[in-house]
Chains A and B, each alone.
Chain A
Amino acid sequence: MSLENVTTLGAAEAGLPADIQQPPGRLWLSAFARNRLAVIGLVVIVALLLFSFVGPLFYHTDQIHTRLAMETLSPGKGRPLGTDDVGYDELGRLMVGGQTTLEVAFGAAVVAVVLGVLWGAVAGYVGGIVDGFMMRIVDALLAIPALLLLLFLATVFRPSVPMLIIVVGVTAWLVPARLIRAEALSLRSREYVLAAKTMGVRGPTIIFRHIITNSIGTILVNATFQIADAILVVAALSFLGLGIAPPATNWGAMLSDGLNYTYSGFWWLTYPPGVAIVLTVLAFNVVGDGLRDAFGLDSRHG
């Protein structure tokens, strides 16, 4: 095993603080563009977005009325991916499912990142007892397993798309909070922040214009991973039966419904949504890794 590659490790591993080695302006974009895998991931994401949202405009199927006479037909003429157990066209279902999956994932990621960034930035910047208390709350919520909390919330509140977004986001904001708090802690002693304070700039303004703006790399990276995690969480919830009611659906629900037919050999009910999930989560993870490398961040915490 050779160690020559040790010397080629970059600035991030050398321990420089994130905002100093963060390339200024748009340089991170060109760094990202040079990462072929990340670009492929981005292309896959855009393709799936187009498939889910623009696809139905070209491929019309009825996703509201069930046609039990046409249930579980294998792929054939006029139905590229067959039909599911109540007669819906599977390809059309995949598109509709994709819309809900991606909507909930993006929505939950936005909720989680907004909540987490605000909480973490305030805690890190203010410091002291307030920081300690805010972070203990984060620790307490982290100690409660998310799935248990989700189970509880899903039985109390009727699942719908907005409710799912809020519920998933509320269990996911803790990680960004911790990350941004760490950033805020290191940023608040920078010269420009100290200078701003001397000039009399107020706390909230400093937090928004300096702390959060200079953490944008960490925020973006975490947001992409949040989207990936949200898709898996919604899939798990749907599998446990706590998803959205029909005729709405999402890829996780399609996969778990299809799994009931594994032994009947209806592969078109499981592989399309399953592969869609794996592909999307993979793509977001790869893009997240690429962003993290482009911003030069510490890979253990992004």
Chain B
Amino acid sequence: MTRFLLRRCAQAIVVLILVSVIVFCLLHMLPGGPARAILGVHATPTNVAAFNKANGLDGSLPAQYWHWLTGVLSGNLGFSYVQNESVSALLGQRLPKTAFLAGISVVLAVLIAVPIGFFQAVRRQRVGDYVLTTITLVLYSTPAFWVAIILIDVLAVRLHVVPAEAPQGSFSALLSDPQALVLPVLTITLVTVAAFSRYIRSSVLDELAQDYVRMARSKGAGSRVILFGHVLRNSAGPVVTLLGLSLPFIVSGTLITEYVFNYPGVGLLAFNAATSQDYPVMLGVVIVVAAATVIGSLLADVTHAVLDPRVRSAAGIR
């Protein structure tokens, strides 16, 4: 177990370093260099030189990278001249809101998708499976923003059950208006359930094909014991891995949802930064989200290894 842990952690560190290199390259991919991108087209060479000196951008590329990296690690993610605030402050305001939204949606999605996937696998090729598979396939094929707008149209406009826009302001303001959270959460949950249930269905099908199921059956164990005592437990591992792998997908879904519902989270922040060419903010978001994804999948893999000892061997997953 320790060898597995060490190996995974070492891999994660390498990946994090690579992420930082990639983001650094993106920063310097901007036409005219980061200084010109931030200061704008009308910046004079003197301004650019002064900016470079002040921000440590006048050395060699490796030196710049080191300067930038140490800054990031100490919490300095840059400054947004568009919003006149430091990137870390902006992220600090928005990250809890997005984490809250995404967190609730993912938990709900897992709670819905696991039973659905299970049901589909056990009743495979029967009516129940076909109906559910069709529904989830159609949901999966529908663009997320259309799902969001259909939900708004039906629930907010026609039936007046919930408001159409998300609450603005601080985190406590958010929590004080739970009705306004229903549609954003519902959107992300539906989209995620569609993606998850396919995976869970195949995962449970794989479990059902394992020898131990046949063995237990031949020993006279009833369906309920086999399903809930063995198969459900053994499917927990792949679900955890799925969660770790889906983080980027969930982030994309959250971005679109935040845009549609004007939810003041990190996704909307990134989008506004992109359209106003606020590169420090965009790249700050990328770094933070990427780091969270790497750490998230590390945690997911470790949890999977705890749940399923076969994963710990050098050969990897069965």
Chain A residues proximal to chain B, CB less than 8 Å: 1-3, 5-7, 9, 13-14, 132, 136-137, 139-149, 151-152, 154-156, 228, 232, 235-236, 239-242, 252, 255-256, 259, 262-263, 270, 274, 277-279, 281-282, 285-286, 298-300
Contact = CB atoms under 8 A, between A and B. Distances in A.
B74 interface: no
Given A3-B208, A5-B125, A278-B142, A155 B256 contact: no
Interface in B276-297: 277, 282-283, 285-286, 289-291, 293-294, 297
A300 B153 contact: no
A110 to B, nearest CB: 21
B286 A152 contact: yes
A136 B18 contact: yes
B124 interface: yes
B145 interface: yes
B146 A255 contact: yes
B270 A151 contact: yes
A1 B144 contact: no
Contact of A140 (B18, B26, B142, B282): B18
A1 B15 CA distance: 44
Interface of B is mostly: helix
Interface string B211-245: 00110010000011011000000000010000000
Contacts of B213: 3, 6
B270 A146 contact: no
Given A1-B123, A148-B289, A7 B214 contact: yes
B140 interface: yes
B170 to A, nearest CB: 25
Contact of B143 (A1, A154, A239): A239
Contacts of B145: 235-236, 239, 256, 259
Interface string B8-46: 000100111011001100100111000000000000000
Given A13-B205, A136-B15, A148 B256 contact: no
B65 interface: no
A240 B145 CA distance: 10
B143 A300 contact: no
A256 B260 CA distance: 11
Given A6-B217, A144-B286, A145-B252, A1 B275 contact: no
B238 to A, nearest CB: 8
Contacts of B203: 300
Contacts of B256: 147, 236, 239-240
Contact of B122 (A1, A9, A151, A252): A1
Contacts of B224: 1
Interface in B246-288: 248, 251-252, 255-256, 259, 270-271, 274-275, 277, 282-283, 285-286
Contacts of B271: 151, 240
A161 B111 CA distance: 40
Contacts of A137: 18
5 contacts: A139-B15, A140-B22, A235-B143, A240-B271, A270-B146
Most-contacted residue by chain B among A5, A141, A146, A148 (CB, 10 A)? A148
Interface of B: 11, 14-16, 18-19, 22-23, 26, 29-31, 122-125, 137-138, 140-146, 149, 153, 157, 199, 202-203, 205-206, 208-209, 213-214, 217, 223-224, 226-227, 238, 248, 251-252, 255-256, 259, 270-271, 274-275, 277, 282-283, 285-286, 289-291, 293-294, 297
B282 A299 contact: no
Contact of B137 (A2, A7, A156, A285): A285
B206 A13 contact: yes
Nearest to B123: A1
B241 to A, nearest CB: 10
A9 B15 CA distance: 39
A1 to B, nearest CB: 5
Contacts of A147: 251-252, 255-256
B131 to A, nearest CB: 14
Nearest to A259: B149
Contact of A263 (B15, B144, B157, B223): B157
A149 B14 contact: no
A255 B143 contact: yes
Contacts of A142: 248, 293
A169 B288 CA distance: 24
